[in-house]
Amino acid sequence: MAVFKYEVMQGDGKKRKGTIEATNRDAAAEELKKGGDYVLTLVDAGALGKDVSISIGKKVKPKELAVFCKQFKSIMAAGVTIIEALQMLAEQTENKAFKAAIEDVHDRVQRGETLAGAMSNHPKIFPEMMIQMMNAGEASGSLEIAFERLSVQFEKDAHLKAVIAKSMVYPIILICVIIGVVAIMMIKIVPSFTSTFDELGADLPAITKIVMGVSDFMVNTWYIFIIVIAVVVFLAKEFKKTPAGALFFGKLMLHLPLFGNLTVKSASAQFTRTLSTMLASGITLVDAIEIISKIMSNEVVKQVMQKAQKDVMQGVAFSIPIADSGVFPPMVHHMVKIGEETGNMEEMLDTIAEYYDSEVEMATEALVAAMEPLIIIAMAGIVVPIILAIMLPMLGMQNAIDGQT
């Protein structure tokens, strides 16, 4: 008998953890389901109940997962077995962490585990959505459809991330240039004029004194500036890990000027596309919402999904908590409501996802277009005072010389 560590969701929506003995993972899952519980995680445990699940390396990029799913689907369509398909994919995968995970999944499936069960031992490699869709695909005999839907899902995710990353390159470069220019002026240029002004003993304008003071601080105690920034960043990251911090930053990103619109549209595209993909693979609405609540990065959206899951379990239409949340645009809950009334939820969700995919691209372009002049204005607001701090005393001295002559 093997020991498995599990986490299940009970009928009342509460989660429960524990260990169970069974001949294999499938038997353990069936035993847990008998009580009406939904299995969230189920992994091998050692003799003392310690989790020995394998998690190799960092998360794999969506583009790599998209290629994996597309190739897996093509290989299976050619009549190749799952074990042979895994071996073929492992041999041609260049990402070492991904390759090791596929090889381990291959070995586990060869020993009799299900594909979903084997993948669940690598949560950093295979997303929970993918594992649940594999589970549903194996149960219904529609693995090829599951892989096809997943390949589209991951391609869309990769495309949106690439669009946002590409659009942010120029503003980031511009900001780095500004920081570099200001640092050179304050550390190299201003101190050279400071010594000249000190020798002349002239009465300096207030702005010059302020800039010289900042320059002296940066030259003599620059490490304090670095330490303060490091501490602030560290505390912000630690605060973000707490429930209150995650909620604070989640609300901030939804209401932040320029970025809020992009965050809302990105969340709308992600959750509707993911939900459509899972529903098409045979996963129930309640289970799909549970998975979405885990993969959404914004804590506010997570809590909306968690509340929606509880409401749906009590018989409330999914569109109602979506509308009541006030997070998503009206179009989202209106289209979801139409899907519920017509029984065509998947198509409606796909339509919403396609619409907001294009909206995210346009919002990203608008964000970059707005950021460029703001960054230039900010640069002027920093550089101009430094130039004035240098030029005003020089003009004063020039006027004094002209007056004497």
Residue 102, Cβ density class (10 Å: 0-12 exposed, 13-18 middle, ≥19 buried): buried
Report residue 305 as tokens: 């999904």
- Would you state the pLDDT for residue 177? 86
Domain 62-154: which topology? Answer: Receptor-associated Protein (1.20.81)
Q: Which CATH class is domain 168-405?
A: mainly alpha
3-state secondary structure 112-152: CCCHHHHHCCCCCCCCHHHHHHHHHHHHHCCHHHHHHHHHH
Tell me how long the chain is: 405
- Would you state the pLDDT for residue 235? 94
pTM over 0.75: no
Instruction: Round to whole Å and give the CA distance between 311 and 222.
Output: 54
Taking only the tens of pLDDT, the chain with its 405 residues reads 677 777 776 666 566 777 887 777 777 777 877 777 766 667 766 433 333 344 444 568 888 899 999 999 888 888 888 999 999 998 888 888 898 899 999 998 888 888 988 898 888 888 888 888 888 888 777 888 888 888 888 888 888 888 878 878 888 888 888 888 888 888 888 888 777 776 666 677 888 888 888 888 888 887 888 899 899 999 999 998 898 998 999 999 988 887 888 889 988 988 898 888 888 878 888 988 988 888 888 899 999 999 999 999 999 999 999 999 988 999 998 999 999 888 888 889 989 988 988 888 888 888 888 888 888 888 888 888 888 888 887 777 666 566 555
Q: Residue 5 pairs with which residues in a beta bridge?
A: 19, 43
- Would you state the pLDDT for residue 231? 94
3-state secondary structure 168-235: HHHHHHHHHHHHHHHHHHHHHHHHHHHHHHHHHCCCCCHHHHHHHHHHHHHHHCHHHHHHHHHHHHHH
| Of residues 238, 242, 184, 236, the one with CA closest to residue 215 | 184
Instruction: Name the amino acid, one letter, at 174.
Output: L
- Would you state the pLDDT for residue 199? 67
Exposed e or buried b per residue across 328-342, where buried means at least 16 C-beta atoms within 10 angstroms of its C-beta: beeebbebbbebbee
Exposed e or buried b per residue across 56-92, where buried means at least 16 C-beta atoms within 10 angstroms of its C-beta: beeebebebbbbbbbbbbebbeeeeebeebbbbbbee
* Distances, alpha carbon 383 to alpha carbons 291, 373, 377, in Å: 49, 15, 10
- Would you state the pLDDT for residue 50? 38
Report residue 233 as tokens: 């960043």
Q: Are 328 and 264 contacting, i.e. CB atoms less than 8 angstroms apart?
A: yes
* SS3 state of residue 50: coil
Map out the domains of the chain as residue ranges.
2-45, 62-154, 168-405
- Would you state the pLDDT for residue 14? 66
Query: How many helices (H) and strands (E) in the chain?
Result: 17, 3
